[in-house]
Amino acid sequence: MTNENEFIPQDEPTAVAAKVFKPSIDNFDWDSFEKDELYSSDDKAKYLGMYDETLSSVAENEVVDGTVIAMNKREVVVNIGYKSEGVVSLNEFRYDPELKVGDKVEVYVESQEDKKGQLVLSHKKARALRSWDRVNSALDKDEVIKGYIKCRTKGGMIVDVFGIEAFLPGSQIDVKPIRDYDVFVGKTMEFKVVKINQEFKNVVVSHKALIEAELEQQKKDIIAKLEKGQVLEGTVKNITSYGVFIDLGGVDGLIHITDLSWGRVNHPEEIVQLDQKLNVVILDFDDAKKRIALGLKQLTPHPWDALDADLKVGDKVTGKVMVMADYGAFVEIATGVEGLIHVSEMSWSQHLRSAQEFLKVGDSVEATILTLDRQDRKMSLGIKQLKADPWENIEAKYPVGSRHNAKVRNFTNFGVFAEIEEGVDGLIHISDLSWTKKIKHPSEFTQIVADIEVVVLEIDKENRRLSLGHKQLEENPWDVFETVFTVDSVHEGTIIESMDKGAVVALAYGVEGFVTPKHLVKEDGTTAKIDEKLQFKVIEFNKASKRIILSHSRIFEDTKKVEEKTEKKVKAKETDNTQKAVKKLKTSMEKTTLGDISELAALKEQLENKEAQKSSDEEAQKNSNE
């Protein structure tokens, strides 16, 4: 409640009433004065009627216009032309911090008189009743309205507009990116209504829309004055991974990350900071799309122009590895001056490796300049040149026949590449891995990075090639095998591998032999299978190709042939004896009598029958063998 002494009504109707009520001395009624009555009943009725005519007729639950006649830190006194003034809480005018005495405001009449005789008004309810019409009117007429930012919300701010809570998206606060939304809370700003959802009573406002039109004209004026090569002052507006946006005073330009510095830049934040003021040069611009390309590094001389004039090929330089790739490393020897160390120039080794095996980003390295092109601003470097070429005295260090320890670096289908020392690689052909084992792929014999002992077989210095051997560490066992695995000798062996063309048999001393399918047939007619241990006969031995051909079938086949041969010899001998007996009889027959002849005839018949029986038996035996 307001203190009556604190507010003194200053409105014109009250002053007029005071004059009317002032009595004249000439017609002063002393009797009424003595009765404590200033006016007679007639005059009093007359004057009250005149006073009522100066007051407005106000109905409850009605929105009327009033005038602010007084204010303090808590309340606002509003005169609506009624017999008493109304008091409204200052909080209801929080959206308008510029409110002052004399301003016209709208209020809602809640009650003409409360218990204390006070007129009860509400500015908030008045705004709420008229707000929707006002918001729609502001959208239709593209009016600028005021609103009070109440608080933050997801994606923007909540704004009090005519008592309605409208949404202000973060992107519509300003043309510049907003980093701190909280600084806007509690502020009163101007807005434009940009969208209304009539169904859900949602209102979207924008402050950015007020200044875009003005900025658009500013952009046109600025772009019209731009020239390539022109240097302007700007403010860092936004930083992205690909560049920096600069505010040139109403128009934005972009400094691409490659135009920030002559040296390599991982992120623009390494060079600039938000709100930093700096000079930039215009590289290019597009009137139609209003794009402006800016440069920062162009304001300083190119580092290649400042490179030591005495620097030449063969000189040693020190630098820092800036970028790594599979094919090499880029080393910065001075700000903005880089050279490439190709992977082939990192080691004398002929074995291809990744550059990451030698260097990493941030390493400080010493290198030798291999090529230097100042015009194209290119330089190639090498670090292997800091060491002596191991092939210079290769014959003395690794003579033919010398033995060395090496490391397996790579496989091919035809052999193993082994490194004796960095830069000195050699090939062990697959045929030089073992005297006895049939190796299809080197991985069956060794593995990558494994140690292997080798013998130098041949040197090709011009092409930087060594021919190495491993089996040559031992004497050729085939000189001995030649006396052991002679043709027709029989040996025990185990079938370890089977294929369409035959089978591989493991023999004594780690030797392997080969058996064709027809020689795998056993005496019972079945075929020998893998893991079977059998007797095998050597049917071929080739020392040059290190090949032993075996047969299991030959063992029992040869036995049969021997038996048949023996039987034939016996039969042949019996036949010969018979023929001799017959001849003898014929001779004796010529000397015998007729009686002897008849006996001899019977004997002859007996011998002929016996001969016929033998022939029949032989024919049957032959058919059985077939």
- DSSP letter at 529 equals -
- Residue 19 has what pLDDT? 44
- Retrieve residue 626's tokens: 């077939």
At residue 247, the pLDDT reads: 86
SS3 state of residue 339: strand
Q: Return the pLDDT at 6.
A: 43
29-62: b (≥16 Cβ within 10 Å) or e: eeebeeeeeeeeeebeeebeeebeebeeebeeee
Cα 243 from chain centroid?
21
In which residue are the tokens 């299809």 written?
A: 440
Task: Specify the pLDDT at position 62.
Answer: 78
CATH architecture entry for 12-127: Beta Barrel (2.40)
Q: Which residue has the tokens 């004057």?
A: 47
Low-confidence ranges of the chain (pLDDT < 70): 1-60, 112, 114-115, 117, 213, 287-290, 350-352, 570, 572-604, 607, 610-611, 614-626
CA 36 to chain centroid, in Å, comes to 101
Q: What is the pTM of this model?
A: 0.43
CATH topology of domain 478-551: OB fold (Dihydrolipoamide Acetyltransferase, E2P) (2.40.50)
Nearest 5°: the CA angle 304, 310, 316 is: 90
Q: What pLDDT score does 9 carry?
A: 43
pLDDT of amino acid 278:
92
**CB-CB contact of 167 with 205 (8 Å):** yes
Residues of 367-402 as b/e, b for ≥16 C-beta within 10 angstroms? bbbbebeeeeeebbbbbbbeeeebbeebeeebeeee
Query: 226-299 maps to which CATH number?
Result: 2.40.50.140
pLDDT of residue 342: 92
pLDDT score for 13: 43
CB contact at 8 A, 461 and 501: no
Rounded to a whole number of angstroms, the CA Rg of the chain reads 60
Cα(18)–Cα(440) distance, integer angstroms: 127
Q: Which pLDDT score is estimated for 134?
A: 83
Alpha carbons 251 and 218: distance in angstroms, whole number: 7
pLDDT of residue 503: 92
* Cα–chain center distance at 206: 39
For domain 142-211, give its CATH number from 3.40.50.720, 3.90.1200.10, 3.40.50.300, 2.40.50.140: 2.40.50.140
Q: Tokens for 105? A: 């405001």
| Domain 394-473 listed as CATH 1.10.3720.10 | no
3-state secondary structure of 50: helix
**In this structure, what are the phi and psi dihedrals at residue 160, rounded to the nearest 5 degrees?**
-85, 110
Distance CA 558, CA 551 (A): 11
The burial class, CB within 10 Å (0-12 / 13-18 / 19+), for 134 is middle
C-beta pairs of 323-331 under 8 Å, 24+ apart in sequence? 323/264, 323/361, 324/355, 324/356, 324/359, 324/360, 324/361, 325/355, 326/354, 326/355, 326/356, 327/355, 328/355, 329/355, 329/358, 329/359, 329/365, 330/264, 331/365, 331/367, 331/381
Q: Which CATH architecture has domain 303-386?
A: Beta Barrel (2.40)
